[in-house]
Structure 1
C-alpha cells in the first residue's frame, strides 16, 4: 500500500503542462486505449456521462484548429495525440430528452420504475437545488462533469510515463464552427468544454512544481 501511494504521488509530481512534445515519439495504441478507458470509466453526477471525446490525429484539421486555439498551437503541432472534450447541451440533459432515455434504458438498462424515480430526482435537482434552469447553466454544469475524465486521463497518463497538457486557451465559437464544417460534431447537442494534448515532453520544465501548502487549502471541522 505504501508503495502504491508513493507511486501515485510521484506521478502527480511528475506531471507538467507540457508545451512542446517530441514529434517523433508516439504513444502506443495500447497505452492510449488505456488512457481513454480511464476517461470512459470516470464518474459523473447522476451517472449521466454527458461527454464525448474527439481524438484529432488528422494533420490538416490540427492546422485549422491552430488559428483559434491560441493556447494549443505548439501542442497541436507536436503532440502524439490531441483530444477535444465535448459536453452535452441543454436540450440533451433535460428530463424527457432522447439522450437521457437512451442512457437510462439502453446503457444502464434501468427498470421503468427506477428510471422514473431517477428522472424525478434529477428534475428536482435541476430546477430547485442546483438552479440548472437555462441552456448556459446546463452546459456549464455538464462541462464540470467533463473535467472528471479530463483530470483522470492526465493522471493515468502520468502514471505510465506519458505527458499531457490541459488546454482552455481557445475561441470556443470558432473551434466549434470548424468541427461543424468538417461534419464531426452536431453542435445542437454538444459543445467544446476543453482540450488536452498527450505525448512525451521534449525537455524538462525549468520550473519546479509549486502548490499551496496543505494547511492553506484544507480546513478540518471536528
Structure 2
C-alpha cells in the first residue's frame, strides 16, 4: 500500500483546497473558516517556519505517519503483520501513480509504503529490546 500525503499546493494556509474542505466537507461557518485560516497561517509561518511548498509537503508527509501507525496497530490487533517501507524510488513511484492510477503528483505525493500480510512461519530470530530504563526517563 502506498500512503499519499497532500503537498504544499493544497496544504498552504489559505489554499483553495483547505477553504473548500472547511466550507463544504466540514460545513463550517465562514467566521470559523477564517479563524482556522489564521491558526494555520500562524502554525505554518511562526510556529513551524514552513516557508516553502517543499517545507509544507514534508510536514504533510509526516502527518501520514500518524495514519501509518494507526493502520499498523489495527492490523496487529487483527493478527496481520506489517512492515513500513521508506526505501523506494520516489520518481519511479510517482510515475506509476500518474500513469497507472491518474494521481496528480503535484497535489499528492507518496509519503511511505506499508506491506500487510500473514507470516508463513514464526520469527527467524527472537525479538530483542533495550531495557526500558535505557530509553525512558520518568520525571
TM-score of the superposition, structure 2-length normalised? 0.92
Residue 18 of structure 1: aligned partner: none
Residue 15 of structure 2: aligned partner: 97
2:35 partner SS: helix
1:175 partner SS: helix
2 CA distance for matches of 1:103 and 1:155? 28
Residue 104 of structure 2: aligned partner: 186
The answer to whether structure 1 residue 86 and structure 2 residue 18 are counterparts is: no
2 CA distance for matches of 1:88 and 1:192? 9
The number of aligned residues is: 139
Give the ranges of 4+ consecutive aligned residues of structure 1 lying more than 4 Å apart after TM superposition: none
CA positional deviation for 1:99? 1.7
Match of 1:109 among 27, 35, 43: 27
CA positional deviation for 1:159? 0.6
CA positional deviation for 1:216? 2.2
CA positional deviation for 1:100? 0.5
Equivalent runs, 1:69-218 vs 2, <5 Å: 83-218=1-136
CA positional deviation for 1:219? 2.1
1:136 partner SS: helix
CA positional deviation for 1:98? 2.2
**Cα RMSD, aligned residues only:** 1.3
Query: Given the superposition, is the C-alpha separation of residues 216 and 122 from structure 1 closer, same or farther in structure 2, using an over 3 Å criterion?
Result: same
TM-score of the superposition, structure 1-length normalised? 0.59
CA positional deviation for 1:188? 0.9
Gaps of 5+ in 2: none
